[in-house]
Structure 1
C-alpha cells in the first residue's frame, strides 16, 4: 500500500509539472508572437543550469529522430549553436531577428547590425540579465554583474585603470612573457621543434602572468625562469611569486589562481568552506583555491592601501592602487564602497583579462598553422614592421600602431570574428517594459522580461561580410565560414578618425581606442561585436589588443607555428618525404582535418568558448626550417 501511495504521488507530481509546463509554454508562445517576429518553440530553456549540465546526454538521443521531425528548433537546442552554425538558423528562418519560446523563458536572438546598435545604445532599456551573472560574485559585487546606479558606481571605480597611459606597461610585460612562452616551447637554445601537446594551457599561463603584473604588480615567474635563474626575489617594482608556497598559504599564487579560473563552475555548488570538505578531490582543490586567492588579494590589498596612505607612488596600470584611490576607502566615513567591492572587481578583471586574451592567442596560432599562406604574409608584415630590432627595443608608441594597422591586427580581428570568446552577448528587457525597435524600416517589439542575445552569428552574416568577387569554395563552405584574415586588408585610405561613445557621464570613461584600425576594413557599425558595443563594451579592449599583438610580434618575428603530425607520422618518416611533396601534404592534411573536426565538434563554453576535453598539438620551428609550407 505504501509503495502504491508513493507511486501515485510521483505520478501526480509529474502530471502537475507537465500540465504547468504546457500552460506556461502556451502563454509564452502568445507573448512571443506579439513581437511581430518569427517564433521558434523549444521544449526547454537552453540557458537553464539543468540543460547546460545535461544537454550532452539529451542531444545525441534527440539526434536519432527522423530528419522530418527536426528543424531549426533542434539546431537551437545546442547552447553553442551561434558558433557551430553561425548565420544558418537566421538564413533558414528568413530573418535576422527571431524569438524563442520555451516553458520557462522567452529569448530573442539578433544578427542585424541596426538592431544591435539600437540595443547597445539604449543602456537603460536593455540591461543585463543579472540572474545569469551571479556566479561572478565570488569575492564581491563588480562591474560585470551589476546594473543601473550600482553599475555606474563600479564603472567609475574601474574605468581609470584602463587609460591609454597604462598600455606601455602592458606592451612591455607582454613582450617579456611572450619571450618566456617561446623559451618554454623551444628550450634554452631556441631550437625547439618539440610537440606542444596542450598549447591552450600555456597561453592561459601567458595571459594570467601579464594581467597579474600589469594589473596587480605581481610578477609571476615561469617554472623554467626559476630553473634558469633560481628562486625569485621581491623587488620594489612588483611583488614576485614563484613555485614556493609562502608562509601561511596552502597553494602558491599561480596554482591558486589557475585552479580557480579553470574550475570556476564548481564554485556555484557550495561555499568554498564546504567544497573543501567534499569527498571529491576537484571540489576540495577549487574550494582551497577560492580561499587561497582571496587571501593573496587581501594581502596585496593591505600592502597597497598602506603604500598609498604613506604617499608612495607605483608604476604602470596599478589596478589595486587606482581602485583604492578612486573608492575613497581610505576614509571610510566618506564612501559607501566596501572592501568586497574592490576585491570583486579585481577578480572579474583578472578573469576577463586572462581567459579571453588567452583564447585569442591560442586559436590564432591554430588558425595560422592551418592556413600557411596567411602565416607567410604575417611573417612578411612583421619583418617589414619591426626589421631586425631586438624585442627589448620595441616601442609601444612607435611599433604598436604599425602592428595594429597590418596583418597582425587582421589575424586578431579574423580570429575574433570566427571565435569570439562569448558567443552570445546577453541583454534583457525589464518585466512590464516591452521595447520597440526598428529593422529594415519596420517596427517590432521585444516583450518585457525576456533575454535578448546579440548573436555571434552576425559575424557570419553575408550582408556585412561579402566574399571577394573571384571567390570559389574548395570545400563547399561559404567564404564567411573560412579563416581569411586578408579580408581585413584593404587598399584604401584610412577611414574617418575614431569617435568614441558620447558618454552621458564623463567619469564613466569608455575603453580607449577603436575596435579595429581605421587602416583596415571597417565593418558596418554593430556587425562586429567581439568586445560588445556601446556603454557596456569591454573596458579592457585596448589592453587585450596590445597584449595579443605584442605576443604575435615576438613569436612570428623568429618562428613559424605548425600543426603537430605525431599521430600520423614520425619525425623520421617526415624527413624521408620530399619537401613540399604530396606525401608531406597528405600527412599535414590529416592533421588539419582533425583540427577542423575538433574545432567544430568539441568547443564549449563555461565562461568563454574553448576546446573541451581535447587538444590540438602544435610545434614552433625556426623560420626557414618549416616542414609544412605549401604554395
Structure 2
C-alpha cells in the first residue's frame, strides 16, 4: 500500500477482539474508533485517506476515506468497489433483502422495491405521522403543560414504530390500544413489532441454540417467530381478499410488485424475500429515525437560539396553531430540514460504510493543503467510508464541531454529506425517512418548547459538561444516544 500513513496494528478494529480491547498503540485501535476520532486521525496523518494494516484474525488491508471526491469515486464504481455482502449476514434474519445483496440479486430487489417508495407512500407517511403526533399530545400526554422524560428515546422509538407500522405494514398501531392477541398467537402485532425492532442485535449475535437460555432471549426469539407469522398471514389475507383496496403502504406495494411474473413465469421475488425486505425497512426506518430525532431534540434543547429560529419559521408558515401541516408544504419548511440535516451531519446513523476492492487499483486522496496522492489498493482491500471523518472534515465544513443548521440553507457540499450513503447503493428510503422526521419535528416544536431536564446531581456542571453528557453516544447497529433527559413545555 505504498507505506501510506495509517495504522499498523496487531488486531483489526472490525474483529470481536478489536471491539473489546482499549486503544493500545500498535496493538488495537480501541472500541468505536471511527466515532471517537472523527476527523482527528486524518489530520494527524496529513491525508484524507488512511492505509491500515492488521494481522489478527487474518492479514487485512483497509483504507479509511474522509475525502469527498474519493468517496464519490468508490460509491459510483460498483464493479470496482462492490459491497462486501458477507458482512451483512446478520441482516438475513427474515430472508434475502436489498441491503444484504449485490450484483443481479440487488438489481432484482431494487427493481421491485423502488416503486413502493412513491409520492403516494410519502404522503401516507406524512399524514399518518401527523395523526400519531396529535394522538400522542391528546392521549399519552393528556395536553399536559409540561412533560418530562428520562430519555427522549422513550418518545421517539414508539413514534417511529407506529409510523413504520402503518406506512410500512399497513397496520395502524396506537398509544393505548392494539393489545389484542389474535387466536393462534402469543403476542399482539404491536408487541411483536416492538420486541423485534429493539431485539435485533440480540437475535443477530446470540446463536440459535442459546436463544432459550434466558427469559429475555426467549421473548426475542418468540417475537421474531410471531412477526414472521403475522407477515405471512398478511400476505395470504391480502391475496385472498375479494375486495382489492388501493393501499400505499410498503408491504402492499411490494406485495403487488411480487405478483408480477418474470419472463420465465416466476415471481419477481418470493414471499420469503418479500418478508426479508420488509424487515430491513422496519430496521432501517425505525431505529435510525428514532435516534436521529433524539439527537435533534437534544441539540435544540442545548441551543435554544436555534430552537427559536425553527419555531419562528413554523409560526410564519402556520400562524394558526390548531392547523395541521400538509405534505404539500413540506419543502417550505427549509429551516426544519436544515436542523434535521445538521443533526445527521453531526450524528450520522452509520459511522462506517463498507466496500471492497474487486481488483488491484488505487484511490486518489487529498488533504487540506491541496495536495493529492494515489493510495495503492490491492484486490480484496476493505474500504471504509468514514462518515464522521467526512462530516467533520474542515475542508468541507467550517467549524465542523459546532451546531449550525444555517449551513444547509445555501449552497453546501453535497458530496461531503453521506448519512444515506451515496451512488446507486444510496438509501432507497431516504424520502420516507425525511418525510417522517420533518413531520415529527414540526408537530412537536410547534406545540412544545424543549429543554434539558433539570437534575440536582448536575446542578453545577458547565455548558460543555452538560453538552457532553446529553450528547453521549455509541455505535451499535446504528449510532445510539446514551441518555437524553428532556422536558417538553407547552407553548402559550
Q: TM-score, normalised by structure 2?
A: 0.92
Helix, strand or coil at the partner of 1:555: helix
Q: Match of 1:140, SS?
A: coil
Separation in structure 2 between the aligned mates of residue 303 and residue 46 of structure 1, nearest angstrom:
47
Q: 2:452 and 2:316 mapped to 1: Cα distance?
A: 25
| Residues 1:482 and 2:415 aligned together | no
Match of residue 327, structure 1, among 239, 248, 258: 258
What is the match of residue 424 of structure 1?
352
CA distance in 2, matches of 1:563, 1:270: 36
Secondary structure in structure 1 of the residue aligned to 2:456: coil
For residues 85-134 of structure 1, the C-alpha deviation after alignment (integer angstroms, 9 at most, x for no partner) is: 21100000000001111112222110001101101111121111112100
**Match for residue 219 of structure 2?**
285
* 3-state SS of 1:381 partner: helix
What are the within-5 Å matches in structure 2 for residues 487-502 of structure 1? 487-488=407-408
1:623 aligns with 2:485: no
- Residues 1:263 and 2:175 are matched in the alignment: no
CA distance in 1, matches of 2:149, 2:99: 34
Contact in 1 for aligned 2:162/2:173 (Cα 8 Å): yes
Secondary structure in 2 aligned to 1:43?
A: strand
Deviation (angstroms), 1:327 = 2.1
Q: Is the 8 A contact 2:18 2:30 kept in 1?
A: no
CA distance in 1, matches of 2:40, 2:253: 45
User: What is the aligned partner in structure 1 of residue 369 from structure 2?
Assistant: none
Q: What SS is found at the alignment partner of 1:218?
A: coil
- Equivalent position of 1:439 in the other structure: 365
Write the deviation string for residues 217-252 of structure 1: whole angstroms up to 9, x where unpaired.
Answer: 1101112xx4xxxxxxxxxxxxxxx12222211122
Q: Is the 8 A contact 1:167 1:546 kept in 2?
A: yes
Report the equivalent of 1:51.
18
Residue among 123, 148, 165 paired with 1:195: 148
Contact 1:565 1:588 in 2 (8 A): no
Alignment of 1:456-475 (within 5 A): 456=387, 457-466=389-398
Q: Do the aligned residues in 2 keep the contact of 1:117 with 1:525 (CA within 8 Å)?
A: no
Structure with larger RCO (C-alpha < 8 A, sep 6+): 2
In the TM superposition, what is the alpha-carbon distance from 1:330 to its structure 2 partner? Answer: 7.6
Report the CA distance between 1:414 and its aligned residue: 0.6
Q: For 1:358, which of 284, 290, 294 is the aligned residue?
A: 290
CA apart distance, 1:271: 6.2
Instruction: Give the aligned partner of residue 599 of structure 1.
Output: 471
Whether contact under 8 Å (1:181, 1:202) holds in the other structure is: no
Distance 1:391 1:254, change over 3 A: farther
CA RMSD of aligned residues (A): 2.3
Task: Answer yes or no: is the 8 Å Cα contact 2:97–2:273 preserved in 1.
Answer: yes
Alpha-carbon shift at residue 137 of structure 1 (Å):
0.3
Gap change, CA 1:592 and 1:171, over 3 Å in 2: farther
**3-state SS of paired residue (1:560):** strand
Q: 1:328 to 1:50 in 2, by over 3 A?
A: farther
| 8 A contact 1:564–1:591 mirrored in 2 | no
**Equivalent residue, structure 2, for 1:299:** 233
Residue 89 (structure 1) aligned to one of 41, 60, 83: 41
State how 1:57-206 maps to structure 2 within 5 Å. Answer: 58-59=21-22, 70=25, 77-103=29-55, 104=58, 105-183=60-138, 187-191=141-145, 193-206=146-159
Aligned position for 1:510: none
CA-to-aligned-CA distance 1:442-481 (integer Å, 9 cap, x gap): 4433221122111121111111012xxxxxxxxxxxx211
Deviation at 1:269, TM superposition (A): 4.5
Offset, 1:596:
1.4
Aligned-partner SS, 1:144: coil
Counterpart CA distance in 2 for 1:287 and 1:329 is 33
SS at 1:368's partner residue? helix
Distance 1:79 1:271 in 2: 23
Q: Secondary structure at the match of 1:83?
A: helix
Q: 1:592 to 1:438 in 2, by over 3 A?
A: closer
Q: Take 2:167 and 2:385, find their aligned partners in 1: how far apart are those partners?
A: 31
8 Å CA contact retained: 1:329, 1:338 = no
Point out where structure 2 has 5 or more consecutive residues left out of the alignment: 367-371
Q: Decide whether the 8 Å contact of 1:111 with 1:455 is kept in 2.
A: yes
Q: Report if the CA contact (8 A) 1:82-1:455 is conserved.
A: yes
Please give the alpha-carbon distance, in whole angstroms, between the structure 2 residues aligned to 1:389 and 1:195: 22
Alpha-carbon displacement from aligned partner over 1:29-72 (angstroms, at most 9, x marks no partner): xxxx34x63231122111123433xx1xx31xx57xxxxxx4xx
Q: Distance in 1 between matches of 2:88 and 2:81?
A: 15
For residues 299 and 391 of structure 1, the distance between their equivalents in structure 2, rounded to whole angstroms, comes to: 39
In structure 1, distance between residues paired with 2:212 and 2:416:
48
Q: How many residues matched?
A: 482
Task: Give the structure 2 partner of residue 250 of structure 1.
Answer: 186
Distance of 2:33 and 2:234 partners within structure 1? 41
Alignment match, 1:315: 247
2:382 paired residue among 451, 472, 478: 451
- Which position in structure 2 is the counterpart of 1:583? none
Corresponding position: 1:400 with 2:330: yes
Q: Measured at CA, do residues 285 and 388 of structure 1 come closer, stay the same or move farther in structure 2, by a change above 3 Å?
A: same
Identify unmatched segments of 5+ residues in structure 1.
1-32, 64-69, 227-241, 467-478, 489-519, 570-586, 625-631
Secondary structure of 2:375's match? strand
Report the CA distance between 1:521 and its aligned residue. 3.1
Q: Do 1:275 and 1:284's aligned partners in 2 also have CA atoms closer than 8 Å? A: no
2: CA distance, partners of 1:599 / 1:435: 40
